[in-house]
Amino acid sequence: MAERNRVTPHGDIVAVPLRGAWTGNRGQLHDGHKIVRFHGGDLWITCALDFRGRFNEQWQPGHYTFLFFHDEAVSFAAGHRPCAECRRDSYRAYQAAWAAELGVDVPSAQQINRQLHGERIVRGTHRRRLHPMPWRGLPTGVFVSIDTTPYLVLGGKIVEWTEHGYAARRTRPTEGDVEVITPPSSVAVLRAGYPVQIDTSASHPPSTGAAPNDGD
């Protein structure tokens, strides 16, 4: 039976068998094998599955909780950013894209953490923030929410994400607004050209026509 340590685009921690391309954490969330809190601070990172041969046992007392993400686009939607240690090059690319698109100096890790934290959850709660944005201009790699279902923006398509992986594709709307799950600063990073990793299955599911609630 799958452990409750997989993360959805909405940032929820669930028990599903879907394999993860990345691990990461947001602090110590567990007591035994039970998840007892949503986060342990504003440091939410995405890490490589293997780094310098290190091995860490799951569910250690007093240790951060290992979480797993289907792909990097899911991790961005959930509100995480690349780890500055095990993914140094990706972290630097994320910083540079942030500065270029937002027109600011290269941010520190603390500045990134603080800004993302305010964008991903409603202050004082564990409730996710969604951000209305125009369909037009959303870059590939962003997740949107349509009737609470997460969809990946992939060029001219949107691809439904399920707890079993990517599913049906639909034509991407070109008019109107949509609720965006990915925090705005990470949307900016993607717009600047950060090479986000997306599972290859997103390009191959069956197409089912036009998107619902397309804002036309």
CA-wise closest residue to 87 among 200, 203, 201, 194: 194
Alpha helices in the chain (DSSP H): 72-78, 88-102, 109-120, 184-191
Angle between helical axes of 184-191 and 109-120 (0-180°, round to 10) = 120
User: Could you tell me which residue, 23 or 213, shows the higher pLDDT?
Assistant: 23
Instruction: Count helices and strands (H / E) in the chain.
Output: 4, 15
Confidence of residue 198 (pLDDT cuts 50, 70, 90): very high
In DSSP notation, 80-127 reads -EE-TTTTHHHHHHHHHHHHHHHTSPPPPHHHHHHHHHHHHB-TTSSP
Confidence of residue 23 (pLDDT cuts 50, 70, 90): very high
Question: What pLDDT, in 10s, does the model give residues 119-139?
Answer: 999 887 778 999 999 999 999
Question: What pLDDT, in 10s, does the model give residues 58-114?
Answer: 889 989 999 999 999 999 999 999 999 999 999 999 999 999 999 999 999 999 999
Cα end-to-end span (Å), the chain: 43
Length of the chain: 216
Is-contact 40 29, C-beta < 8 A?
A: yes
> What is the rounded distance in angstroms from the CA atom of residue 122 to the CA atom of residue 14?
21
Is-contact 143 73, C-beta < 8 A?
A: yes
Q: What is the mean pLDDT of residues 187-209?
A: 88
- Calculate the average pLDDT of the chain: 92
> What is the rounded distance in angstroms from the CA atom of residue 202 to the CA atom of residue 107?
31
> What is the rounded distance in angstroms from the CA atom of residue 147 to the CA atom of residue 116?
24
Is-contact 139 153, C-beta < 8 A?
A: yes
Residue 124: per-residue pLDDT: 78
Q: Is the pLDDT of residue 210 over 70?
A: no
> What is the rounded distance in angstroms from the CA atom of residue 142 to the CA atom of residue 39?
22
Residue 209: per-residue pLDDT: 57
SS3 state of residue 202: helix
208: region left, alpha or beta (phi > 0 left; psi from -120 to 50 alpha): alpha
